[in-house]
Structure 1
Amino acid sequence: MAEARRLGFAAIGFAAAQDDPVRSARLREWLDAGYHGTMGWMEDRAEVRQGPQSMWPEARSVIALGMSYAPEVDPLDDREAKISVYAQGRDYHDVVKKALKALARWLVAEVPGTELKVFVDTAPVMEKPLGQMAGLGWQGKHTNLVSREHGSWLFLGCIYCTLEFAPDSPHDDRCGSCNACQVACPTEAFPAPYKLDARRCISYLTIEHAGPIPHEFREAMGSRIYGCDDCLAVCPWNKFADTAARHMAFAARPELVAPRLADLLALDDAGFRALFSGSPIKRIGRNRFVRNCLIAAGNSADTGLSEQVGGLRGDPDPVVAEAAAWAFARLSVS
């Protein structure tokens, strides 16, 4: 515990590595409903996602860990262009994995012969239900993990290992009758509590979805250009989240807290890569990002952007060009 906290983890718990048939059935139901959209990788290795031992039969325990990225400012504040809190600092994949590997090396030194594997969001691992099993928090009605100490602001990582740790008690669900996250969703992406239709989720649409944004969601996207924090930000448990527990790597870069659309729309590929070096935003590429910015421009009613938006109607990327045509038409009637 002490070593994990020294490495920057704000939460740690232990769970048995056995597969959970209930969790597996819920995943299958979600996939069968098509809620994963174009995220084919969710279905391609669904059998491995059933639990730790489906991936690695030798696993005996799971060490579940969380790093805080609690924001200093309200994610719901109005801004010209909104980037999700989690992407305003350094790429969590790099930060969390580095700390997991350091903890793994320490554990092997303490108990020679231990075998282990580390994961952070890049393998078929169900970090959120494992976090609940390990007592870090519970999966809320918005499907993300909620912690009594850290609210909705935890990056999760897991270590599978051959050691037998005494498991912590699974965390109780403390959502109660609250439905704030369900009501807050701009695109009505929750068909029911604890179920997310990713195809309607702004985070999915701006990050995972590669084609044109469906017209039915464009106005609801507002100024959100990368991700969406609404369902997380309204959770009442966030009042207990302590920004002092936030890992220093996730302090927001000032230029990403309230960026200007005009600057972002001007990005070419080289400019995009330079601006988002070390950021998770870099992985979606310039074209998808500018597409998102054009939707925000079309929603802005800022006619000062018309000339710049109009110029992008000739962009070599057809998805960017289509978004520019839509945004230009919107601004022309503003």
Structure 2
Amino acid sequence: MTSAALRGRAWKLLEMVTTPLLPSDYLDLVSPLRAGADLRGRVEAVHRETGDAATVVIRPGRSWRGHTAGQYVRIGVDVDGRRLWRAYSLTSPTDRPDGRITITVKAVPDGKVSNHLVHRVAPGTLVRLDQPTGDFVLPRARPTKVLYLTAGSGITPVMGMLRDTEVDDAVMVHCAPRPQDVIFRDELRGLAAAGKLRLTEVHTDTAGRLDVARLGDLVPDWAERETWACGPAGLLDAVEEHWAGHGVRERLHTERFRPRVVAGADDDGGGGEVTFSTTGRTVAADGATPLLDVGEEAGVLMPSGCRMGICFGCVTPLRAGAVRDLRTGEITEAEPGVLIQTCVSAAAGPCDIER
């Protein structure tokens, strides 16, 4: 008998002994980061960056395939007995010697996962991981002149780029309410002092919001630079309009943490009673909250991905009623075979979601 056949028989005997669990279930308890297991990571440290932001150091499992600077990773965290998934930019260089990865998280009001990761997660905690994804990355042929335009936690994917790749002529304009709110402040200022980055901080509590129309006062040659911009929707809307108006839209690369919401589509004029027919739960929802968030808040196991309407990981059948696409304002009514993206759809009256 071949060794493969012997291993197969041994595994079947183990399955008989461990029923109703599988041998792999016990292996997961002993070695959760092993090759072949569902991809997990172990939190090894949490480093405070600002009063409301922290860097989480994670040892990924052996199935981790590595990332490109600027990409993000989906992370599954158990919070109050529920597994919730969120996407965060990777802030570690691609060749970190110890093989660890980092995400840097800013706690947002009422953010279940962000507050848990910033204020409560402990070293040793196991989290679920997906493989990294995203195209907010530098090209293989590095541009000679780069502008990084960021605000708030929008600095996180750019920090991954700065730590990973040195550009000959790099300029950064970063916006934060106060100096102490600048994530990675000491490291950024160190890069500037070493001549590796020209840094301008805009402190909005005292200077007001960045007027993109006057960007030339800070960066006279902005139109000549390949630009990577990440931050709140208002900033990115203004940036995209400004670049398009000057005929250089192709030089702008943006990353949004939330989908662009069409004017008027995020008001409270819609809403209704949402039934999750598979689990038998019914809750009231407004016309502005994505059905994905509504379901998670109700304790319904909701599939999700990018939470931006890009990856279609949240697609779910709409059994009855109607929903509004928050990006376009378009109304979709239920009929046989209709699927909706719960991360960018809100209730437009009573509706029934097959979850």
Give the TM-score normalised by structure 2. Answer: 0.23
| Higher RCO (CA-CA < 8 Å; seq separation 6+) | 1
Give the TM-score normalised by structure 1. Answer: 0.24
Query: Of Structure 1 and Structure 2, which has the larger fraction of its residues in helix?
Result: 1
